[in-house]
Amino acid sequence: VNDYRLARRASALPATLPESTIPAEIDPGTICFDSGFAFPPLFPDLSGFAAKVLTDGRDEALQYSNAQGRTGLRGWIADRMNDDGCRLGADDILITNGAKNGIDLVCRLLLDEGDTIVVTAPTYFTAIPIFRSFGVELLEVAQDEHGMRVDRLAERLASMRAQREPLPKFIYNVPDFHNPSGLTMPLERRRALVALAAEYNVPLVEDAPYRRVRFEGDDVASLKALDTDGRVIHLGTFSKLIAPGLRVGWIASEQALVSRLMRLKCDGGTSALLQGIVYDFCRSDAFDAHVQRVRDTYRQHRDTMIAALRRDLPGVEFLVPEGGYYVWLTLPAGIDADEVAAKAGGAGVQVLPGSKFFANVGTAVDAGRYLRLSYSYSTPRQISAGIGKLAGVLGMLAPGALSIY
Ligand SMILES: Cc1ncc(COP(=O)(O)O)c(C=O)c1O
């Protein structure tokens, strides 16, 4: 065994390769409620756009991209965000390799070892190891049905200031159809969060991959639209609306930060070919109809899952998400969600236990009572069957618990 001298951020990482997490590589009989994968029948036919980009646009498509990303695509993104209440130009946008790349870049921009950042409890679990790799402390703030408890954060910031502790370097949040809890933060709470960030001069990182995947109700102003002094760094992506395999996303921020983020993004630029395909598809007549189809299809998936949960799991609590990919279940007291997830996997239904979504497991009260179910990837028939199987597992682990309420 080689005795490598690994960096601190790598030394705790496993030396063995993980099992595949690609649903298609798992047993085809398995029902996958555990991933944020898109529903394959929703992928648009991009072949015509690709052919055109590779012929008429070949010289640009096969060249290194402009480091900030293709100008036309940046302008299109800025225009759409302006339709949504922002005030941005193409130069306020940096194209990234998806939102995860955006998270990593923002960390590179703002974090030093020993810093503190704020996340919700629970939070987007893939971001946790990214944050940890920068050697920072994660300060968890509880949520209620309106998302992050801004009042609790205000108390915490006041106490940090009173104790002369260094303030958090940023506040990370997913205000629309939160992953994993499915919650959407109402306008008043958003205003309070933006005002609090201004009072303490802490940047707000708004991660909004599901923003356009809304099934009903009106859009709530994004944090970026409420931002009057450039404190919000907004992360967007085409993963949830078009296809995650494209790996095209963006950061919207003030130019002084975009300029630095661009220099920290040392990967030779996001693929010019893929940016070209995305841009041509977005400005084609097919785009609006595609967005509508995405919303209608995931609404149907959500409705099927909610109906099955009400039918088969009456003792389990949840809020109905107005968009996005996830339902967050609270199990009856006394049932261990990690055990449920393990047993459900054995019964052919993959689910994620809530404990994965808490940055500091052990300090979070009740982290073991939650399950995250994703309705994006499975067909309605699989969704219905999968909830039935999950009910079978819960019924075995805690007979009677499902009819308590
Ligand atoms: C909150 C959140 N942020 C970021 C991402 C990743 O998006 P991308 O595919 O653009 O990296 C996801 C995907 O699951 C997500 O749920």
Distance 143 CA to ligand 1 centre (A): 20
Q: Find the mean pLDDT for residues 123-144.
A: 96
Q: What percent of the chain has pLDDT over 90?
A: 85
Q: Does 405 have pLDDT greater than 60?
A: no
Write the pLDDT tens digit of every residue in 366-375.
778 999 999 9
For ligand 1, is residue 324 a contact (CB within 6 Å)? Answer: no
Q: Find the mean pLDDT for residues 36-62.
A: 97
Distance 160 CA to ligand 1 centre (A): 31
Residue with CA closest to ligand 1 atom 16: 179
Helix (H, G, I), strand (E, B) or coil at 317: strand
Distance 99 CA to ligand 1 centre (A): 5
Per the CB < 8 A criterion, the answer to whether 130 and 120 are in contact is no
Cα–Cα nearest to 359, from 138, 87, 61: 138
Q: Average pLDDT of the chain? A: 94
Q: Does 353 have pLDDT greater than 60?
A: yes
pLDDT of residue 403: 60
Residue entry with tokens 């998806």: 98
User: Which parts of 169-248 are beta strand (E)?
Assistant: 171-173, 204-207, 232-237
For ligand 1, is residue 176 a contact (CB within 6 Å)? Answer: no
Distance 382 CA to ligand 1 centre (A): 24
User: How many CB atoms are closer than 10 A to CB 198?
Assistant: 14
Q: Report the alpha-carbon distance of residue 343 to residue 288 in Å, rounded.
A: 42
Residue with CA closest to ligand 1 atom 12: 209
* Residue 27 Cα distances to 34, 36, 340, 349, angstroms: 14, 18, 20, 11
Residue with CA closest to ligand 1 atom 14: 36
* Residue 353 Cα distances to 93, 144, 335, 339, angstroms: 36, 19, 12, 8
For ligand 1, is residue 174 a contact (CB within 6 Å)? Answer: yes
| Cα 189 to the center of its chain, rounded Å | 20
pLDDT of residue 365: 63
Cα–Cα nearest to 148, from 118, 169, 128, 125: 118
Cα–Cα nearest to 130, from 207, 201, 190: 207
For ligand 1, is residue 124 a contact (CB within 6 Å)? Answer: yes
For ligand 1, is residue 207 a contact (CB within 6 Å)? Answer: yes
pLDDT of residue 23: 77
Residue with CA closest to ligand 1 atom 4: 99
Q: Report the alpha-carbon distance of residue 350 to residue 304 in Å, rounded.
A: 17
Interacting residues of 395 by C-beta distance below 8 A, sequence separation 6+: 402
User: Residue 404 — very low, low, confident or very high, per pLDDT cuts 50/70/90?
Assistant: very low
Q: Find the mean pLDDT for residues 87-97.
A: 98
Distance 175 CA to ligand 1 centre (A): 13
**Which among 103, 184, 207 is the best mutation to test ligand 1's pocket, defined by most ligand atoms within 8 Å of the CB?**
207
Which ranges of 253-285 would DSSP assign to H, the alpha helix? 255-264, 272-282
Residue entry with tokens 């078009």: 242
Q: Find the mean pLDDT for residues 283-297.
A: 98
Using the atom order of ligand 1, give the atom closest to the CA of residue 244. Answer: 9
For ligand 1, is residue 36 a contact (CB within 6 Å)? Answer: yes
Distance 125 CA to ligand 1 centre (A): 10
**Which among 21, 104, 234, 240 is the best mutation to test ligand 1's pocket, defined by most ligand atoms within 8 Å of the CB?**
240
Share of the chain residues as helix, strand and coil, in percent rounded to the nearest 5: 45, 15, 40
pLDDT of residue 376: 98
Interacting residues of 233 by C-beta distance below 8 A, sequence separation 6+: 106, 170, 203, 204, 205, 206, 251, 252, 253, 257
Q: Which of 3-17, 191-205, 213-227, 290-304 has the lowest mean pLDDT?
A: 3-17
For ligand 1, is residue 244 a contact (CB within 6 Å)? Answer: yes
User: Residue 363 — very low, low, confident or very high, per pLDDT cuts 50/70/90?
Assistant: low
Interacting residues of 67 by C-beta distance below 8 A, sequence separation 6+: 262, 265, 269
pLDDT of residue 390: 97
Q: Which of 44-53, 168-177, 304-313, 389-398 has the lowest mean pLDDT?
A: 389-398
